[in-house]
Amino acid sequence: MIMSIKMNSNHDIVIVGVGMTPLGEHWDLSIRELALQAISAARAEAPEILPQAFYVANMLAPALSRQSQLGALLADFAGLRGIEALTVEAAGASGGAALRQAFLALKSGMVQSALVVGVEKVTDRVGAEVDAAMATMTDADYEAVQGITPTAQAALLMRRYLHENGAPQDALAGFSLNAHANGATNPFAMFQKAIRLDQYIKAPMVSDPVNMFDASPIADGAAALLLVNADSIPSNVDNPLVKITASATSSSAVALHDQPDPLVINAAVVSTRKALEQANLTPDDIDIFELHDAFTIISALSLEAAGFADRGEGWKLAADGAIALDGKIPISTFGGSKARGEAGGATGVIQIVELVRQLQGLAGKNQVTGAKIGMAQCLGGIGATAVTHILTRLHGQ
């Protein structure tokens, strides 16, 4: 039976508060302190809202912080003891998946307000321990056991992509250059420095052909969102309100070799299509696309999956400047995972924070002029999970 996507309730889900920490090596902050900073910042934007449900997005705490039950732990630390709280894990898509759970809870009418925090603490561990933890996002029985890592997967995809499309070795450089150019003006970014093409070309290989500037840096960080049903909006919120116009997720095979076509991120195709249908929009309507640029090759594949480019043509958008802040389809507007930093399960929440600031017109030097409709998409692994959200201003303007 095919079910059409119909909302049971027609009230809007509104983001009344956002907050995040800088991304980087927070050696002096534990996972709970990182989360609290983001939660406090988000709640400060709507202090009278007491969240009724709490969703934590995280991937690596059990492996790297020896901590599960982040829901209860972080709720307690944030002064919310007693609240309904749990962790949502979908590797790099955890952030979007947690927001999706909050969205569903609010849409159901069972709760009137919800708090989402994405948090990741990785830099207390180093080397092989981190690599092994990251590799848990692959298929443990068939991939990780052979020693594959997400970076090695990206290298396989990138080599195949360049080969199939007859693209030059530096075809994906534009994604890295764009991300670093945008990161340069983002005070929360891990790397606040633009790079040049010659630096990209000379960068050491991480996993040939993925070089240092093709791969995003793993960082500590947290971001939080405070959401309410439209009829619970407090009267005195300072910033323009942003609503969730669409929320859709899709899953696919975890193992790369189980993908019918590895160069098509099928879960991204499906979740984007579902989200656009919900919002009654086409790719042309999207002003900003915060995609999950864990690797430059993923940027190209995500643009293609979402319909911004034909198959094998995504890299050309980077080459001709279409992805810049003033381009046709701006991506990684605050630096993306490449320059802002990749915080695993927190990334999907960070994307939403950034998108909200863009739609509020509060993105400072990173502002995309006149941005009204933004789409965010985070991926688990090489796209086994894809979560897509479309955000718009609550009051058209």
Partner 1 sequence: MQEHNILKPIRTVGIVGYGAYIPRYRLPAREVARVWKADTSGSLPGEKAVAGLDEDVITMSIEAARNALARAMIDPAKIRAVWVGSESHPYAVKPTSTVVAEAIGAVPNTQAADWEFACKAGTEAMQAAIGFVGSGMANYALSIGMDTAQGRPGDALEYTAGAGGAAYLLGPAEEAMAIIEASFSFTTDTPDFFRRANEKYPEHGERFTGEPAYFKHINAAAQELLQATGTTPEDYTFAVFHQPNDKFPRRVAASLGFRPEQIEAGLLVPWIGNTYAGSALVGLTAVLDVAEPGDKILLVSYGSGAGSDAFIIQTTQALVNRRNQAPGTKEYIERRTEIDYATYSRYRGKLTMK
d(CA 51, CA 39): 11
The piece of 25-33, 101-109, 353-361, 367-375 that touches partner 1 (CB under 8 A) is: 25-33
Among 204, 260, 370, 396, binds partner 1 (CB under 8 A): 204
Among 2, 6, 27, 284, binds partner 1 (CB under 8 A): 27
CB-based contact 99:348 (threshold 8 Å): yes
Query: In a 10 Å sphere around its CB, with 0-12 CB exposed, 13-18 middle and 19+ buried, how is residue 397 labelled?
Result: exposed
- Residue with Cβ nearer partner 1 (5 or 205): 205
Nearest to 264 by CA among 160, 337, 376, 378: 160
d(CA 153, CA 248): 25
d(CA 93, CA 150): 14
Q: How far is the CB of 183 from partner 1 (least distance, A)?
A: 18
- Residue with Cβ nearer partner 1 (122 or 391): 122
Note whether 45 binds partner 1 by CB under 8 A: no
Q: What's the gap between Cα 145 and its chain centre?
A: 27
Note whether 198 binds partner 1 by CB under 8 A: no
- Residue with Cβ nearer partner 1 (202 or 311): 202
- Within 205-224, which residues bind partner 1 (CB under 8 A)? 205
Among 25, 84, 131, 313, binds partner 1 (CB under 8 A): 25
d(CA 239, CA 60): 33
Instruction: Quote the tokens at residue 95.
Output: 């952030």
Q: How far is the CB of 204 from partner 1 (least distance, A)?
A: 4
CB-based contact 95:118 (threshold 8 Å): yes
Note whether 44 binds partner 1 by CB under 8 A: no
- Per-residue binder mask for partner 1 (CB under 8 A), 126-165, x = binder: xx--------------------------------------
Instruction: Quote the tokens at residue 274.
Output: 């579902």
d(CA 50, CA 26): 28
Note whether 326 binds partner 1 by CB under 8 A: no
Note whether 170 binds partner 1 by CB under 8 A: no
* Angular region, 255: left φ>0, alpha ψ -120 to 50, beta rest: beta
The piece of 68-76, 186-194, 197-205, 303-311 that touches partner 1 (CB under 8 A) is: 197-205
Interface residues with partner 1 (CB under 8 A)? Answer: 25, 27-28, 123, 126-127, 202, 204-205
